[in-house]
């Protein structure tokens, strides 16, 4: 169905709304980004992303090369090779497929390749589960990739387009994971407004690789040679490479927000930057989460406020780099923070909870932070869990207690 706009301007002609799953929203974004090469291996619940892309290619709607491979590690190796030659590249995976890519993920980040990969989040085996949590994406947080988490299907479409613009920025050149919850978003249909192709082309110009190997056909070029501990003859040592990668990924926070403002000017949609607040203006308590966990938390806010509990929700969109300064600013007026993690940093607590505490550590007036583990392996995370966990956290705060053991909700102990 065609969208009705108050202004029938040339800029918005060609936009339309389709009812899409989260997977297919990602597929359409890759098509409209004019991706050159796609390589992926099927794994539930990601498979429909690249299946739809293969249909686009077969029908002539998308001019791209689909590389069929025997594993996820080979898929990432193919994406790396294609990106080095100057192609715009896309892939997608889930769970153990993402884990199988681990070695290549670090290689892609170290080579500063602007790949975009959709991670349709799913529990990691063993034991086997095809249902969602964030453990697969969280387990790859230290590979050097940026990681963005989405809350609905429109955000998936928009974020894939934004991700290419960020990844290919002349000051960045880093790979990005666009993460969204398996089944909860990947297989659920929602209205998604697709921009016109002209709008996307204006927002996202052709990829211009920093390696420029296509310009040096007759000049052999080495990529990623073995380094020594110390610099030599003007060539950086290993530590200098790591330093530069860290400084770039820190810089990416500002670049991401600048690009999102540009996208908002084009599309009329702004997803809030690297963190997004809901009812936070007067909140005493901030409930923090990512992806579908944040959506569920928002449903609890009216119930909590009816009981006189002034709670709001802070959604973390950008998990890597972790937006410490933005989080500190968003939480500067709250007395308490309640974190719902759909993951476990084994031996510690939930990953968001641990990192948020690190971000707040040097604040003079620190809010009380209590984390909970919820919704692993597709277990329902309910409004009642949010309310119960928030009240439990309030009791800990009143006693000024922070339990040493992790707190789980909805688990049969």
- Indicate if 53 and 135 belong to the same structural domain: yes
The predicted pLDDT at position 4 comes to: 38
Domain around 335:
275-398
DSSP string, 317-360: -EEES--HHHHHHHTTT-SEEEEEESS-BTTTB-HHHHHHHHHH
- Indicate if 145 and 287 belong to the same structural domain: no
Residue 379 lies in a domain: yes
The predicted pLDDT at position 221 comes to: 73
- Indicate if 256 and 280 belong to the same structural domain: no
- Indicate if 257 and 279 belong to the same structural domain: no
- Indicate if 147 and 291 belong to the same structural domain: no
- Indicate if 138 and 181 belong to the same structural domain: yes
Q: How confident is the model at residue 214 (pLDDT cuts 50, 70, 90)?
A: low
Which pLDDT tens digit goes with each residue over 319-359? Answer: 999 999 999 999 999 999 999 999 999 999 999 999 999 99
Q: How confident is the model at residue 216 (pLDDT cuts 50, 70, 90)?
A: low
Residue 407 lies in a domain: no
- Indicate if 299 and 206 belong to the same structural domain: no
Residue 220 lies in a domain: no
The predicted pLDDT at position 356 comes to: 97
Number of domains in the chain: 2
Q: Is the pLDDT of residue 257 over 70?
A: yes
- Indicate if 206 and 313 belong to the same structural domain: no
Residue 233 lies in a domain: no
Q: How confident is the model at residue 6 (pLDDT cuts 50, 70, 90)?
A: very low
Collapsing DSSP to helix, strand or coil, 146 comes out as: strand
What CA–CA distance (Å, rounded) separates 98 from 83? 19
The predicted pLDDT at position 13 comes to: 76
Final residue before a domain boundary, out of 267, 297, 332:
267
- Indicate if 78 and 147 belong to the same structural domain: yes
- Indicate if 175 and 132 belong to the same structural domain: yes
CATH number of the domain where residue 59 is located: 3.40.50.970
Task: Name the residue with tokens 């599309």.
Answer: 267
Q: Is the pLDDT of residue 7 over 50?
A: no
pLDDT mean over 125-147: 97
- Indicate if 283 and 200 belong to the same structural domain: no
Residue 325 lies in a domain: yes
Residue 42 lies in a domain: yes
DSSP string, 44-88: TTTHHHHHHHHHHHHHTSS--EEEE-SSHHHHHHHHHHHHHTT--
Residue 232 lies in a domain: no
Instruction: State the average pLDDT for the chain.
Output: 94
Residue 158 lies in a domain: yes
- 94-98, 207-211, 214-218, 282-286: range with lowest mean pLDDT: 214-218
- Indicate if 27 and 98 belong to the same structural domain: yes
Global pTM value:
0.95
Q: How confident is the model at residue 11 (pLDDT cuts 50, 70, 90)?
A: low
Which pLDDT tens digit goes with each residue over 85-113? Answer: 999 999 999 999 999 999 999 999 999 99
CATH number of the domain where residue 372 is located: 3.40.50.920
């Amino acid at each position: 169905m065609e969208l009705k706009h108050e202004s029938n301007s040339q800029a918005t002609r060609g936009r339309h709304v389709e009812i899409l799953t989260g997977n297919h929203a990602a597929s359409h974004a890759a098509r409209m980004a004019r991706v050159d090469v796609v390589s992926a291996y099927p794994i539930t619940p990601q498979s429909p992303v690249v299946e739809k892309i293969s249909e686009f290619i077969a029908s002539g709607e998308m001019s791209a090369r689909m590389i069929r491979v025997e594993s996820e590690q080979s898929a990432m190796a193919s994406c790396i090779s294609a990106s080095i030659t100057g192609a715009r590249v896309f892939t997608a995976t889930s769970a153990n497929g993402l884990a199988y890519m681990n070695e290549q993920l670090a290689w892609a980040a170290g080579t500063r390749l602007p790949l975009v990969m959709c991670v349709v989040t799913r529990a990691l085996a063993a034991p086997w589960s095809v249902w969602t949590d964030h453990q697969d994406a969280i387990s790859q947080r230290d590979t050097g990739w940026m990681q963005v988490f989405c809350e609905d299907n429109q955000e998936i479409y928009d974020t894939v387009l934004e991700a290419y613009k960020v990844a290919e920025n002349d000051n960045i050149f880093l790979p990005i994971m666009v993460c969204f919850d398996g089944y909860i978003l990947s297989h659920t249909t929602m209205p998604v407004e697709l921009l016109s192709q002209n709008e996307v082309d204006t927002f996202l110009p052709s990829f211009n690789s920093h390696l420029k190997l296509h310009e040096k056909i007759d000049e052999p070029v080495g990529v990623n040679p073995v380094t020594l501990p110390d610099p030599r003859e003007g060539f950086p040592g290993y530590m200098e490479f790591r330093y530069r990668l860290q400084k770039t990924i820190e810089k990416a926070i500002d670049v991401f927000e600048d690009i999102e403002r540009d996208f908002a000017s084009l599309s009329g949609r702004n997803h809030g930057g690297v963190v997004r607040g809901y009812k936070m203006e007067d909140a005493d308590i901030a409930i923090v989460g990512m992806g579908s966990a944040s959506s569920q938390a928002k449903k609890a806010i009216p119930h909590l406020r009816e009981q006189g509990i002034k709670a709001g929700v802070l959604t973390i969109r950008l998990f890597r780099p972790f937006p410490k300064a933005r989080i500190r600013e968003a939480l500067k007026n709250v007395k308490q923070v309640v974190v719902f993690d759909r993951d476990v940093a084994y031996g510690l607590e939930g990953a968001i909870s641990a990192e948020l505490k690190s971000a707040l550590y040097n604040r003079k007036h620190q809010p009380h932070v209590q984390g909970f583990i919820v919704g692993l392996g597709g277990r329902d995370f309910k409004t009642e869990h949010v309310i119960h966990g928030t009240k439990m956290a309030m009791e800990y705060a009143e006693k000024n207690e922070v339990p040493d053991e992790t707190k789980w909700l909805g688990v049969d102990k």
